[in-house]
Structure 1
Amino acid sequence: MYKVRLSPLVSAIVLSGCSSMAFAQLGQNLSVDIRSLAMGNAVTADPPGVSAVHYNPAALTKIEGLQTDVQGILADFNIKRQYSVPEGYNVFGYSDDPLVCNDGPEVASDICTDYKGPVNGDVEYISLYVPFLKKVVDLGEGMPMLAPTAGAAYKPPGSKTTFATAFYAPLVAGFGAENGNPSNFMGQQVALERFTYLSPSIAYEVNDELSIGASVGMSYQAFALKTDLRFPNEMIGMLRMIDEVVCTPFKDNSDVITDILLLGICNAQEGMNPFGRFGRMEVAMEQSLSPSFNLGVMWEPTDEFSFGMVYQSASKMRLKGKYTIDNSKAPRELINGLMSSPTGQILAAILGFPQSIPATESGLVSMDFEYPQHIQAGIKYMLLPDLQVNVDVGWTDYRAWDKFKFEFDRSISALKIAKLLSPDITDNSLSLPLKFDSPWNYGIGIEYSATDRLKLRAGYEPRTSAIPDDKRNTMVPINNAQLFGLGVGYRFDADTDLDLSIGYLRSKDSIPANTSTLSNQTGVNNILLNPYAGLNVKTETNITILGLSYRTKW
């Protein structure tokens, strides 16, 4: 069994879920095949070797006899995140946020007098969730991520049918930082993985021009997250004002009358602060068997031209995990204060508040999740006898991520309070509207045969983000991106090929203050998922991928 730890206001689980899943945008198809990476993933009409299991199983008919593919892929994630103060910054009249303000306790002012300027919270190392350990492992600063793949295909002599299977990673992404990093409020450690460990496939050559194919993918899906939490919000700012202004004269002089009039709020030993740390969360969810299927067709009317199309099905899952909630002192003291007053107790009963918030809560959590379907089509065309051009167009159904709903095996204290703010929250469930888009993307690849043995490749794939402008955040440090690829292929003999490729993905994003409900939106109704409320946020992501593949026939 796997164990998860979660911090206050359980609704933040939703942020972990949606943002981690959305991180698929960043890692999709970066760790499947080296040659495809160098060709901008424009290979539907020209899939390489056994990797056709993923890109277009119909192309498996081009394999003769027994062929094996082994690949190793290294990826380095360089993710920068920056926070700055806009003009007029405040949360309910307060701007002394220690994340961006140098003022210490000796400065008796609610308005910051000395801002730090742009504050950096860069990713420090790569993190991976290890299934058999049931934990996230940090690879260390400067260490790259490794994604090995392997596959085998067999076409009997004289047969029109090819059989194959492959192990590969359609999605691997993860990062982490040390304690105290400013970005830790939206993910100190994030890991998202999808491994296809078995993919029985079959392809059939209908005639000399047309082939069809299908594969069934048996995959493992998981995500894990550890994060600090805070909730800079107008409502919590108001509670701070009450604690510091209204309650100050009554802190040590309260009586029955003041307790009744002030609902007992002033009896809290620690007041609420919009910039205070509410605790820490660790969560992990997984499904060991997540089936899907790919259907492909390949049409090659001439030696110079071919057309390919693939449909990759959606995969619906029921991810499950455990959680532990560590509630910090301030929210617990708020409820204790209400319970110390008769009028506070009446108000809490009317609103359905819990009578107390424990320091720790734990139990089971689950959610329905759909890995979205994908359609891609492309052509291969020989411009010159030695120059080949591939062009692909694809669509991914990220609109399936309209809403994520987390369900708990018991009532959660924090949700009993948060349900007042949204119809998507109940005592034991929480939904987050995402409203993702389903973008179209394209890729272009060029392959030049310098000699009979040596091939040179280049590719370009601009990636349109599925994340709406008002949902951007630092846990998914990418909006629109560009993928560049270069590669070289060398044929040692008639049966053996070696490919070396390098890929580079870059993305820059600017999230102006008050523009994203999953990052920096202020307002009374944005209490849950805006740790950088009112701040300008910038992200810059650079991913470098290096890979080597070895293909041989037996």
Structure 2
Amino acid sequence: MTIKTGRTVVRKVGGGVAALSLLLAGPSAAQLATNLAVDVRAMSMAHAVTADPPGIMAIHFNPAGLGKLRGRRMDLQFVGVDFGINSEFTAPPDYNVFGFSDDPVVCADAPDNGADFCREFRTGKSTVEGVSLYIPILNDGVDLPPGPLLAGPIPSFSIRPPGSKFTFATATYLPMAAGLYRADDDPGNFMGRRMALERITYLSPSVGFQATDTLYLGASVGLSYQAVMLETDFRAPNELTGFARILDESVCAPFKGESNIALDLILFGICRPEEGLGPFKNLASLDVAMDQRLSPSYNLGVLWEPNDRFAWGAVWHSEAKVSMTGDFTVNYSNATEQTINGIGGSATGAIALAVLGIPSSVGSSETGLISMDLTMPAHFQTGIKIRPTERWQFNVDAVWVDYDQWDAFNFKFNKATAVTALARLFSPGSTPTRLRFPLEFQSTWNLAFGVQYDLTGRLQLRGGYEPRASAIPTDRRNPMVPINEARYYSLGLGYKWDKDTDIDLAIATMRSRDNIPANTSTLGNSEGIDNVVYNPYAGLDIKTETTINMVGLAFRTAF
């Protein structure tokens, strides 16, 4: 099957929920990369800057810091990001799905060699080819050539009128931006062949207020664009599709393509299709795109700096209510289409499908409208700045993100389809036009550390370290969201060009590795007959490794 922008999600057995699981994983993956590449100076300090906000981008990190700015200011930032997402799939001892082990992801045997077991196993390897972006005007994705993604100049402006205690500012920045595409034969395509995830804050009216000589308050409003694009293939290696293959290759072999009353009564028309289902077959392809043009949020901050040696700050990033709408298209594989229509074409099969609330026939594709109400989690950060000597400065922040509210994602369709009818059988709380996908994410706390050394009156050296906790429970980890526990490292420098101009440079890397043994994740490799949504690598051991490398240049000046 294939699913297109905003279309319903369907596969033969539990496929509907599978597609939706991939949709929700997109926002998850991007949101789990909170704060990355928003500001160059913050990048170099591992984002431990709540008590030491970085220029105009205090708008994001602590708008109270705007109260320290004077006159008219402008920041221009340039950022380059390169990333690698690699996955490995291996077969553990005694691997099989209902007696079959010839999975092309891990089997090196020649295809269609007449055997239903694998003689020689290999390690299936998946890698990302390059970056894909969703372009709002085109309403389509664009694949960029392999290599780093460069963005800039990204502007921000502030002004504090003479004699005023208020500083006003606005900025354009990307709190979420991720996208990728894989080769057509990549084994990772069952968890996303092409996708783009974007949240672009195009306007952020903000104000900082100097309440006293030591206390500052601030607030900002972010007006953002949110989009999700996904193209992916589907399969369902489980007991049900394994049993379907046995029926197709053993029981139905003598009756292929035939139809008579006896066969229909006994086998529910399962032998009618010329091509049957199997655990390792591609059942469908999905193409979905959703967006929201205006998604507001707000930040509130406080900064207390009693002297030059110490400061404390805190910022609250509100949750953001997102209501995305779009289209979807599902294109069914020949085997899926023939199987559903074959069962529906028999008297007993049609009755069975009617009892389950499933249509008795489908076309080669289904299209429609899809919508999703999503809450981007609230985020709280507080920290201190300490200068024990004239040259050394240490920052420590504590970071909390409310992923606990991602208990489940809910999708709405403009009509009932075969996909939603099938998916609701495997997703409690769903209806023919609504699907609920359970996530059970958990809120996280972590610390971040930054250090700065004033080498001269003009040159500062910086470094940072942030060990990030995982919001994804162990039994929900998968290659689609390959950022779990992560380690962030950064270096940078600041140079004062003149009394009004500063230049910041930074390099940073974040790495996350995960090992998902077979049958330990219900969103990746579970073998249970009741875990058809969504486990495209059921029974396989999975390893993932994600590396995100970043460089940045910021030019800050008065005008």
TM-score, length of structure 1 as denominator length: 0.97
CA distance in structure 2 between the partners assigned to 1:145 and 1:524 by the alignment: 45
Paired residue for 1:287? 292
Change in Cα spacing, 1:209 to 1:253, as seen in structure 2 (3 Å) is closer
Q: Alpha-carbon deviations, 1:467-506, whole Å to 9, x = none?
A: 1111111111121101111001100110000001001111
For residues 88-487 of structure 1, the aligned pairs below 5 Å read 88-105=94-111, 107-115=113-121, 117-146=122-151, 148-251=153-256, 255-487=260-492
What one-letter code is carried by the residue in structure 2 that aligns with 1:45? A
How far 1:165 sits from its partner (Å)?
A: 0.8
2:527 to 522, 526, 537: 522
Distance 1:213 1:253 in 2: 74
SS at match of 1:426: coil
Among 17, 25, 48, the residue aligned to 1:11: 17
CA shift digits 1:366-407 (9 cap, x unpaired) = 011001111100000002111000000010101121100111
Q: Does the C-alpha gap of structure 1 residues 401 and 148 become closer, same or farther in structure 2, counting only changes over 3 Å?
A: farther
Q: Give distance in 1, aligned partners of 2:408 and 2:286.
A: 21
- Residue matched to 1:20: 26
SS of 2:369's partner is strand
**In the TM superposition, what are the counterparts of 1:496-535 in structure 2 within 5 Å?**
496-535=501-540
Deviation at 1:109? 2.2
Distance (whole Å) between structure 1 residues aligned to residue 534 and residue 337 of structure 2: 20
Once residues 87 and 151 of structure 1 are traced to their aligned partners in structure 2, the CA distance between those partners, rounded to angstroms, is 57
After TM superposition, the structure 1 = structure 2 runs for residues 47-58 of structure 1, keeping only pairs within 5 Å, are 47-58=53-64
After superposition, the Cα gap between the structure-2 partners of 1:106 and 1:300, relative to the gap in structure 1 and judged at 3 Å, is closer
Q: Is the contact between residue 258 and residue 272 of structure 2 (CA under 8 Å) also seen in structure 1?
A: no
Task: Give the residue type in structure 1 aligned to 2:370.
Answer: V
- Sort the Cα spacing of 1:18 and 1:320 in 2 relative to 1 into closer, same or farther, 3 A: same
**1:41 corresponds to:** 47
The answer to which of 400-409 and 238-247 deviates more is 238-247
1:119 positional shift: 1.5
Query: Unaligned 5+ residue runs, structure 2?
Result: none
Superposed displacement of residue 204, structure 1: 1.1
Task: Note the alpha carbon deviations across 1:274-317, whole angstroms, 9 max, x for none.
Answer: 10011211111111111011110010111100000001100112
Superposed displacement of residue 7, structure 1: 6.3
Q: Judge which range, 255-264 or 44-53, deviates more.
A: 255-264
> Structure 1 residues 94-103 or 298-307, which shifts more?
94-103
Letter in 2 for 1:158: G
Distance in 2 separating the partners of 1:253 and 1:429: 37
Distance in 2 separating the partners of 1:253 and 1:487: 71
Q: 1:85 aligns with which of 87, 91, 97?
A: 91
Comparing 420-429 with 51-60, greater Cα deviation is found at 420-429
Percentage of matched positions with identical amino acids: 48
For residues 493-546 of structure 1, the C-alpha deviation after alignment (integer angstroms, 9 at most, x for no partner) is 100000010011111111111111111111211223111111111111111100
| Amino acid in structure 1 at the alignment position of 2:322 | M
The answer (yes or no) to whether the contact 1:31–1:172 under 8 Å persists in 2 is no
8 Å contact kept, 1:42–1:390: yes
CA distance in 2, matches of 1:419, 1:494: 64
> Is this contact kept in 2: 1:18–1:404, CA < 8 A?
yes
1:517 & 1:25 partners in 2: Cα distance?
A: 21
AA partner of residue 167 (structure 1): T
Which of the residues 531, 536, 546 maps onto 1:541?
A: 546
Q: Say which of 48, 69, 73 aligns to 1:67.
A: 73
Following the alignment from structure 2 to structure 1, what is the Cα–Cα distance between the partners of residues 258 and 232? 39
Query: Following TM superposition, by how much is the alpha carbon of 1:251 offset from its aligned partner in structure 2, in angstroms?
Result: 2.6
C-alpha displacement at 1:17, in angstroms? 2.1
Q: Provide the secondary structure at the position in 2 that maps to 1:242.
A: helix
Q: Between 243-252 and 257-266, report the one with greater CA deviation.
A: 243-252
Question: Is the partner of 1:308 in helix, strand or coil?
Answer: strand
Taking the aligned partners of 1:490 and 1:174, their CA distance within structure 2 comes to: 33
Distance in 1 (CA, whole Å) between partners of 2:229 and 2:345 is: 39
Whole-angstrom CA distance in 1 between matches of 2:258 and 2:546 = 54
Post-superposition Cα deviations, 1:437-459, rounded to whole Å, max 9, x if no partner, equal: 10001110001110110000000
Q: Structure 1 53/476 Cα, relative in aligned 2: closer, same or farther at 3 Å?
A: same
Q: 1:272 to 1:94 in 2, by over 3 A?
A: same
Distance 1:147 1:506 in 2: 24
Are the aligned partners of 1:225 and 1:284 in contact in 2 as well (CA < 8 Å)? yes
- CA distance 1:200–1:418, change in 2 (3 Å): closer
Residues 249 and 28 of structure 1, relative CA distance in 2, 3 Å threshold = same
- Residues in 2 aligned to 1:492 and 1:403: alpha-carbon distance in whole angstroms: 50
The C-alpha deviation readout for 1:44-89, integer Å capped at 9, x for no partner, is: 0000110001111111111110011010100001111111111111
Q: Give the paired residue count.
A: 552
**Structure 2 Cα separation of the partners of residues 47 and 86 of structure 1:** 50
Q: How far off its partner does 1:270 sit? A: 1.2
Q: Residues of 2 paired with 1:258 and 1:200: CA distance?
A: 70
Q: Letter of the aligned partner of 2:82 in structure 1? A: D
Q: CA deviation at 1:145?
A: 4.3
Shift of 1:106: 5.5
Distance 1:114 1:339 in 2: 39
| Structure 1 counterpart of 2:110, one-letter code | G
- For 1:138 and 1:500, the matched residues in 2 are separated by 28
Instruction: Go from structure 1 to structure 2 and tell me whether the alpha carbon gap of 1:429 and 1:253 turns closer, same or farther (over 3 Å shift).
Output: closer
Unaligned runs of 5+ in 1: none
Q: Residue 345 of structure 2 contacts residue 360 of structure 2 at CA under 8 Å; is this kept in 1?
A: no
Distance in 2, matches of 1:418 and 1:194, equals 29
Q: Over residues 229-284 of structure 1, what are the superposed CA-to-partner deviations in whole Å (9 max), with x where a residue is unaligned?
A: 11111111111111112212333665322221111111122111110011211111
- Per the TM alignment, residue 360 of structure 1 is displaced from its structure 2 partner at its CA by 1.1
1:316-352 deviation line (CA, Å, top 9, x unaligned): 1211111111111212212222233222222222222
AA of the residue aligned to 1:43: V
AA at the equivalent of 2:117: I
Change in CA separation of 1:6 and 1:80 when aligned onto 2, cut-off 3 Å = farther
SS of alignment partner, residue 241 of structure 1: helix
Q: Measure the CA separation in 1 of the matches of 2:438 and 2:282.
A: 25
* Cα 1:422–1:5 shift into 2, 3 Å: closer
- Counterpart residue type for residue 35 of structure 2: N
